Structure 1
Amino acid sequence: MKYTPDHEWLRVETDGTVTIGITHHAQDALGDLVFVELPEIGKHFAKEEPACVIESVKAAGDVKMPVAGTILAVNEALVDAPEKVNEDAEGEGWFIRVKPDDIADVDGLMDEAAYKALLNE
C-alpha cells in the first residue's frame, strides 16, 4: 500500500486499477463516521482533487485523489453503513476504485515506513 500526507491510502490491484480509502490513523482522528458521499462512476478527477465527502461526529472533510484517474467503482455499502470505515479502514472500508491516468504516479506516494515516520510511529 501507498500513503499520502493527507492520510489516504492506495492499493494497486492485479488488474492495474487502484483502490483508495483513508488510513486507520485518519478514521481514528475523525471518530465515528456518520456520512459518506461517493462520486459518480465514470467521473474523472485530478490528483489531489476531492473525490468523496466524509462526515464524522467530530468533523467533515474530503477524501482526495492520490493519483489522477477515472472512477470505476464505489463502495456503496458505506452509504448505509459509514461505520464500516471505522471498523476496517484499510480493508472493507475502502471508498473508490480508480483507473489511474498514469500508474507510475503511484511511485511518488509514501510507502508504509515513510507514512509511519510522518506519524512519528
Structure 2
Amino acid sequence: MAAAAERGLPVRLIHVWDLAAIYSWDAVNVAGVSSEWTENAERHLENLAVEWRQKHPEVTIEAELRRGHAVDGIIKAATESDAQLLVIGTHHHTRLTSFLLGSVTRGVLHHATCPLAVVPTPYES
C-alpha cells in the first residue's frame, strides 16, 4: 500500500471465484446456488475493500469480482489494467506447506507479465 500511496496509484482488489466442478449448470441455476455464491463473494470482497480503505484512506481502492478460473481472471485483470505489480496472498494450514506455492500462485507466476509479490498469511501454530 505504501508503494501505491507514494506513486498516487490505485489498488485493485480482484476476487475470482467459480463453482466447484461437482455442480452441473442446470442444478446450479435451478437451486439458486450460483446467485447465492455470487452474493457471498460480493459481500466478502466488499468487506475486504472497506477494511483496506479504512486502513489506507490515502489510497484509492477498487474492488472487482470476476467469475471463472482464478489464474485466468487474475491475469486478464492485470493485463486490462496494465498492472505494475501483482500481489497474491497465500494461506497454508501447516508449517510444512508454507514452503510450497499453491496452484493459483504457480499459474499466475508462469503467466504474469509484470512483477509478482507472493505474500503469505502469518503461520499460526
| TM-score (normalised: structure 1) | 0.27
Report the structure number with the largest CA radius of gyration. 2
* Larger relative strand fraction: 1
Q: Larger helix proportion, structure 1 or 2?
A: 2
User: Could you tell me the TM-score, scaled by structure 2's length?
Assistant: 0.26
